[in-house]
A and B are shown apart, each in its own frame.
Chain A
Amino acid sequence: MSNVNTVVFTIVVVLFVLVTFIGFAAARWRRADDMLHLNEWGLGGRGFGTFIGWFLLGGDLYTAYTFIAVPALVFASGAIGFFAVSYTIMVFPIAFIFLPRLWSICRVHNYITPADFIRGRYGSRGLSLAAAFTGILSLMPYIALQLVGIQAVLTVMGVEADSTNTYVKDVPLFVAFVVLAIYTYVSGLRAPAAISFVKDTLIYVFVIVAVFYIPTRLGGWSHIFGTAQTHMAAINPATNKPNGAFIPTSKSIGSTQLDFATLALGSALALFIYPHTITGALATKRRDVVKRNMALLPAYSVLLACIALFGYMALTDKPTAAAVKKAGNTQLAVPYLLQHMFPSWFTGIAFGAIIIGALVPAAIMAIAAANLFTRNIFKEFFKPDASPKVETRTSQWASLVIKFGALAFAVWLPHTFAINLQLLGGVWILQVFVMLVAGLYTRWFHRWALVLGWAAGMIYGTIAAYNVHSATSSHWANSSDIVFGHTVYIGLTAFIINLVVAVVLTPILRAVKAPEGTDETLPHQYTADPAGAPAPEPAGVGLTRATD
């Protein structure tokens, strides 16, 4: 701890204590009569309006990993990293199409998780289990990655530098995560919702200051873009290829238009299938709140674009680029850049913003995964008569288990493994798209065809990602694959395979009269806009009725 800057450290600790206080106090925020219901703990009472909803969803969608990994990719490979910008633009019109329908049907039937809807729509426990399993599986590495983001900041702060002992080294991370786990247990979704105000404010302040101030220190934008362009065009002696691409083109080897577009599209399709983003959306009060937020959230994408450009700034700032090279970890590009450019007190604020930025989505992800476990595994298969109280208690404990699982993941496994698994998680979660989104519009698909399509997509995606490796990268290190001579995002290929299997098998299964399952939804419910949250009683309509 000898090289820790006291000012930076103190400010980060103060900010952390502040959000801890807010996290615990949030239990009393918008308090309901009966807090022991998943609508309360797991969805914050389903009563957030446009304003709170914007902060919550913004804090939920833009994870600390984004703040660290996107600029790291831009730093390392150039324009391809900007796929994240393109993706966060197109995600909102895509979600604008189907998310209001999902909101309505979940509100009418009191569904808490996306798998609840799949259960009700197709009358299929197996399909709902597939969705819940995929959701939990893709959220675990995602939570672990929030920790990797925190670790990157702590490393640059010098907190971790001195000890080689894993346990001592990770004590600050451990403390931060235990505190987070406890207040999430106590306050549920209200904790990240309240903390997201602090997160979003701090992120806005630090990014806007940085984007106007840093270029003045680095000789202006023309110098930043010029350096980046020269660097990306330069030939890397190790691979004999250019370092990257400054503009995606159809000819360059490093990144192609199609790779860029499919990565962006695949990620955009996946984002609102992730259970934690659906949790954020379902916590809102009215259907229009969801729509309004789709129009308002691009304001956050502007920040993401600025953050992505930090990658080029880090490349232009010679001491930062040298420090990153020395550490051999591009994830450190942004923390080093901030540390080198700003006075200590502002570095403290920026680092605090990134750490809090990791805590908010980590909490929501743990809640979403816990709800999936409780509703679609525990209640569905083990305790069909679980009362809302038992459900809430189960979810609270499950959120703790999931958090510690993710912590073990981040501490004991190599970081590259966590990062690669998160990429794989994106491929996996995309396989829920057909059953979920198609189900919002039609019951044409046969439920067994959807299960088989899902399985085909999962298997193809996992194997294809495993097979992409080269001398310089490990298995699963890359999410793009060459299909018919084009570099394409594996998730999207797997998604198309999934869709084709489901389309082909549906008429066959129908011809052999495979049982269809009962649909408990009605067409008008997909556009309904009930004002109040559903009463606790009809919770899990399909689940309880199926058993009595």
Chain B
Amino acid sequence: MTEPTATPGVPGDPLHAAVTRRVNPVTAHPITSLAIFVLVVGAIMGTLIVPIYDSETPKLGAWPFFYWYQLVYMPVVAVALWIAMLLQRRLRRPADTDIAGTDGGPVPGGAR
């Protein structure tokens, strides 16, 4: 439990060679970061805060609010996360997109 492990990072390794010094993406893109935060945290809160939806009305057809709200909320979460993912791409600097610098081709023992 006390035994020390490897030295952090291996300089020669291509996986490690990329950015060690980087601009914090949150301070670089404050508005995009805030939007991502609101989308993801909002998605959680919409179902975590039960008083929002634990009522019988308004009904949708025969469906009490509690039941149809959760069904309708699912695609909302899906869309919110998809937008958050697209926004996160804007935070990423080109150098980060492919740290290994490979073309995705086969590597020994790797995936095809």
Which A residues have a C-beta under 8 Å from some C-beta of B?
30, 32-34, 37, 39-40, 45-47, 79, 82, 85-86, 89-90, 92-94, 96-97, 108, 119-120, 123-127, 220-222, 224-225, 246-249, 257-258, 260-261, 264-265, 285, 288, 291-292, 294-296, 298-299, 301-302, 305, 309, 447, 515, 517-525, 527-538, 541-542, 545-546
Contact = CB atoms under 8 A, between A and B. Distances in A.
A525 B64 CA distance: 47
Contact of A532 (B40, B75, B97, B102): B102
Given A96-B40, A520-B8, A536 B51 contact: no
Interface of B: 1-9, 13, 15-16, 18-20, 22, 40-41, 43-44, 47-51, 54-56, 61-64, 66-67, 70-71, 73-75, 77-82, 84-85, 88, 92, 96-100, 102-112
Most buried by B among A96, A534, A538: A96
Contacts of B73: 89
A302 to B, nearest CB: 5
**Chain B interface, DSSP helix/strand/loop, else mixed:** loop
Given A249-B54, A264-B47, A535-B107, A305 B16 contact: no
Nearest to B39: A93
Nearest to B84: A96
A261 B3 contact: no
Contacts of A46: 110-111
A248 B54 contact: yes
Nearest to B81: A295
Contact of B22 (A94, A295, A524): A524
A522 B85 contact: no
Contacts of B56: 246-247
B1 A125 contact: yes
Contacts of A249: 54
Contact of B109 (A32, A296, A299): A32
B47 A86 contact: yes
Given A524-B18, A530-B99, A47 B48 contact: no
A220 B98 CA distance: 54
Contact of A225 (B18, B62, B78, B92): B62
Contact of A529 (B3, B48, B85, B96): B96
Given A124-B1, A532-B104, A518 B109 contact: no
B102 A530 contact: yes
B74 A545 contact: no
Contact of A520 (B5, B19, B77): B5
Contact of A533 (B44, B48, B111): B111
Among A45, A86, A257, A519, chain B packs the most CB atoms within 10 A around the CB of A86
Contacts of A520: 5-9
B111 A288 contact: no
Contacts of B71: 302, 305
A261 B50 contact: yes
B8 A517 contact: no
Which of B73, B96, B97 has the largest number of chain A CB atoms within 10 A? B73
Contacts of B107: 532-533, 535
Contact of B100 (A37, A220, A515, A530): A530
Given A93-B77, A298-B74, A546-B4, 18 more contacts: A32-B110, A32-B112, A37-B109, A47-B110, A47-B111, A89-B77, A93-B44, A123-B3, A220-B62, A246-B64, A247-B64, A257-B54, A294-B81, A301-B74, A524-B18, A527-B92, A529-B99, A531-B98
B78 A533 contact: no
